[in-house]
Amino acid sequence: METTEQIRDRLLARFPGATVTLVTNPGPAAEHSLLLGAAHAHAIALFLRDDPALQLDYCSNATGVDWPDKEIIDVKKLTVPDPAGGAPKIVEEKTKRMDPGYLEAVYHLYSMALRHGPVIIRLRTTNRSDQVTLPSLTPVWRSCDFQEREIFDLYGIVFEGHRDLRRILMWDEFKDYPMRKDYVDPDDYEWEPTPHAEVLDRAKQHYPTPPPAAQPPDGPSVASAKEGKP
Amino acid sequence: MSVSDLSSFTPASGPTVRAVKDPFHGDLLEVSMGPQHPSTHGVFRMVVTLDGEIVVKLKPVFGYLHRNHEKIAENTSYLGSMPYTDRLDYLCSMSTNWAYALAVEKLSGQAVPDRAQYLRVILAELTRLVNHSCLVGFLFNDLGTSFTPLLYAFREREKILDLFESLSGSRMMCNFQRFGGCRVDPSPEWLAAASQLVNNFPRFLDEYEMMLTGNEIMLARTQGIGVLDAKKAVNAGLTGPVLRASGYNYDIRKVDGYGFYPRFDFRVPLGAHGDTYDRYMMRVLEMRESVKILQQAFRDLPAGPVMDPKAKIRGFRPKPGEAYGRIESPKGELGFYLISDGSPNPYRYRVRPPSLINLTLLEEMCLGHTIADSVVILGSIDIVLGEVDR
């Protein structure tokens, strides 16, 4: 099979306006992937499926990944001359910038006919809040049907062109997207005397006053029995 | 079927069948089968629209067993989610363990000693025997042969589970594979007992087949029922025995050659019609091939360590990167997709569940058949809800 670079070059030659970027995988697996622009993703997917040299007729795995906003601190070293005439000082200047986050859909493609693969393609949304639409690849590979529904359900990527985009694992009335990194569990813990400190803390936040402990049954207490009182 | 047919296939858009009021056939009936239904193999639900007894629409509904396994695994260490993988496909915990270990070994570049590779093949093929014999039993349960074939299968399954218990300490939740090998080395007595069990297995299969395969009711209820087209199946990502019953030769043991499978001499059975009967026969034939693999594995099992001595157990932090590892589990392609950011927990942990994706074409397989046949078709696909819902 061609290397990922060769596939990228062929795609760029075939689709002049498209953005196809190589995303390298630094790990030992070294399975590099292709980041596709959303505009041409559907056409490129069709090309990958039907191209006689590739014939990626089987989309094995489709999944989402959440990359939240990241605060990056740039450290710049400045040399400040000493006005008193001494040696110049080196001062570190820190600037903060936000690296905008995005949601990502990853597809692992194999060829069942030619028995090669995987070719990994990625699609990214513009941000994580309001522009989360990506083209659906279900019309190209039907196997994405349930998997794209799952990404929609757990990550909140809206797939345009999916014919039946509903929640699949969570119930329909559910609001949030549980697989996102900033997902907060709903505050519906019941109060219970539990040895798990974290659960107990959360339960206490929800129920500031625990229900009163059960009253001891009537009768002489242990203390009074010891003292011999009636 | 040629390759060019495959590429031109595009799934139709819009609903496959619309439920309409037909003056000749009267009103249609919508039935919610499940989630508490004995024939749905767990908490699975099918919303079936019926015209008389005939299925005209079927919508699968999932999620009743959803516990967000992936999120749990992202919040624990790599090794910490190994016991959770047992709970995915609870009939085949040994193969699921292997799939996860394979993905992590790919992610971290970990080597596996020869003896462990052989041991993994042995355990995975024993798991295949467990899964397929149970599946055949459950299939006959769905056909109305209440429990007798299933108990014959369970008798054999218990023998294999006894082996698993004596090796790993647990019948079903084995938690046996580690990154870089296996947890314990089996004793010579264990290997002798396992080898004897495997040698006796074809006798059980002959007995089983003598009673079941030629059965007239079985033939009438399964032949020509739920026919699956191979090019549709490829496009829908169906894998495992369900795909091969349609005649498409794709077995990851042969294609990827993971583990030590290239060292073994075995054949991949293929169906001709893609109906329920072929899917049943596929399981029986695969069990016979598994017996062949197991006999070779017991013969060639090398001496040596079962765990790579350089494998890191404490403070295991793979370098940043990602990996997708997949195996041919008894149900199809089971894959794990992992992204590491260099921390002790996986940044992204994804299970590619064969049971879920094999259900993609359930509706098309059931359309036009009776509601009783849809139960058998579902049984022949072989799902485990622990894996479908995760």
**Could you tell me what percent of chain A has a pLDDT over 70?**
84
Cβ–Cβ < 8 Å for A93, A76: yes
Q: Which residue has the tokens 């047992």?
A: B86
Element (H, E) at B208: helix B188-212
| CA Rg value for chain B | 21
DSSP string, A139-189: TT-TTHHHHHHHHHHHH--EEET-TT---SSS-TT--S-TTSTT----S-P
Phi-psi region of B101 (alpha: psi -120 to 50; beta: other; left: phi over 0): alpha
Name every residue whose Cβ is closer than 8 Å to that of residue B242 and which is 6 or more positions away in sequence.
B228, B233, B279, B332, B358, B380, B381, B382
pLDDT of residue A108: 92
Minimum mean pLDDT range among A213-217, B3-7, B363-367: B3-7
Angle (CA) A159 A162 A163, round 5° = 150
Rounded Cα distance between A141 and A135, Å, is: 13
Rounded Cα distance between A138 and A5, Å, is: 26
Phi/psi at B262 (nearest 5 deg)?
-60, -20
Cβ–Cβ < 8 Å for B179, B100: no
Q: Please name which of B143, B45, B32, B33 lies closest in space to residue B385, comparing C-alpha atoms.
A: B45
Of B63, B235, B352, the CB nearest to A141: B235
Q: Please name which of A36, A31, A4 lies closest in space to residue A134, comparing C-alpha atoms.
A: A36
Phi-psi region of B321 (alpha: psi -120 to 50; beta: other; left: phi over 0): left
Rounded Cα distance between B104 and A39, Å, is: 34
- pLDDT > 90? residue A130: no
Name all contacts of B201-206 with Cβ < 8 Å and 24+ positions apart. B201/B129, B201/B156, B201/B287, B201/B291, B202/B288, B202/B291, B204/B133, B204/B152, B204/B156, B205/B284, B205/B287, B205/B288, B205/B291
**Could you tell me what percent of chain B has a pLDDT over 90?**
37
Name every residue whose Cβ is closer than 8 Å to that of residue B165 and which is 6 or more positions away in sequence.
B171
| Interface with A, mutate which of B16, B61, B62 (most A CBs under 10 A) | B62
pLDDT of residue A213: 66
* Cβ atoms within 10 Å, residue A225: 11
| CA Rg value for chain A | 29
Task: Judge: B324–A112 Cβ closer than 8 Å, yes or no.
Answer: no
- Identify all chain B residues contacting A170, using CB atoms and an 8 Å cutoff: 63, 66
Cβ–Cβ < 8 Å for A162, A148: yes
Beta bridge partners of A134: A159
Instruction: Name the residue in chain A with its Cα closest to that of B323.
Output: A29
Of B62, B70, B234, the CB nearest to A168: B62
Task: Judge: B320–A169 Cβ closer than 8 Å, yes or no.
Answer: no
Name every residue whose Cβ is closer than 8 Å to that of residue B205 and which is 6 or more positions away in sequence.
B284, B287, B288, B291
Rounded Cα distance between B286 and B297, Å, is: 16
ipTM: 0.85
Phi-psi region of B226 (alpha: psi -120 to 50; beta: other; left: phi over 0): left
Task: Judge: B68–A145 Cβ closer than 8 Å, yes or no.
Answer: no
pLDDT of residue B221: 87
Q: Which residue has the higher pLDDT, B119 or B24?
A: B119
Cβ–Cβ < 8 Å for B19, B28: yes
Instruction: Name the residue in chain B with its Cα closest to that of A149.
Output: B62
- pLDDT > 70? residue A226: no
How many Cα atoms are found within 13 Å in the side-chain-facing hemisphere of B154? 7
Rounded Cα distance between B198 and B206, Å, is: 13
pLDDT of residue B104: 92
pLDDT of residue B25: 59
The whole-chain average pLDDT of chain B stands at 86
Beta bridge partners of A133: A158
pLDDT of residue A212: 65
Rounded Cα distance between B199 and A58, Å, is: 37
Task: Judge: B360–A171 Cβ closer than 8 Å, yes or no.
Answer: no
CA A98 to chain centre: 18
CA dihedral sign of residues B366, B367, B369, B372: positive
Q: Which residue has the tokens 């757990």?
A: A154
Chain A residues with CB within 8 Å of chain B CB: 25-31, 49-50, 55, 57-61, 63, 65, 106, 108, 112-113, 115, 118, 120, 138-147, 154, 163, 167-171, 178-179, 183
pLDDT of residue A191: 58
What sections of B228-314 are H helices per DSSP? 230-235, 241-245, 252-255, 276-300
Phi-psi region of B18 (alpha: psi -120 to 50; beta: other; left: phi over 0): beta
Rounded Cα distance between B150 and B66, Å, is: 27
Residue B373, SS3 per DSSP: helix
Per residue in B49-99, pLDDT (tens digit) is 888 888 888 888 888 889 889 999 999 999 989 999 999 988 889 999 999
- Identify all chain A residues contacting B237, using CB atoms and an 8 Å cutoff: 58-60, 141-144
Element (H, E) at A202: helix A197-206
Q: Please name which of B65, B69, B91 lies closest in space to residue B81, comparing C-alpha atoms.
A: B69
Indicate the pairing of strand B321-329 with strand B332-340: antiparallel
Name every residue whose Cβ is closer than 8 Å to that of residue B202 and which is 6 or more positions away in sequence.
B288, B291
Structure tokens at A207: 């129920």
Task: Judge: B235–A169 Cβ closer than 8 Å, yes or no.
Answer: no
| pLDDT bucket at B241, cuts 50 / 70 / 90 | very high
Rounded Cα distance between B204 and B210, Å, is: 10
Residue B310, SS3 per DSSP: coil
- pLDDT > 50? residue A16: yes
How many angstroms away from the CA of A151 is the closest CA of chain B? 11
Of B7, B106, B335, the CB nearest to A57: B7
Beta bridge partners of A154: none
Element (H, E) at B86: helix B82-86
How many Cα atoms are found within 13 Å in the side-chain-facing hemisphere of B237? 30
Rounded Cα distance between B82 and B86, Å, is: 7
| pLDDT bucket at B8, cuts 50 / 70 / 90 | very low
pLDDT of residue B43: 87
| pLDDT bucket at A192, cuts 50 / 70 / 90 | low
Rounded Cα distance between A36 and B181, Å, is: 38
Task: Judge: B235–A27 Cβ closer than 8 Å, yes or no.
Answer: no
- pLDDT > 50? residue B4: no
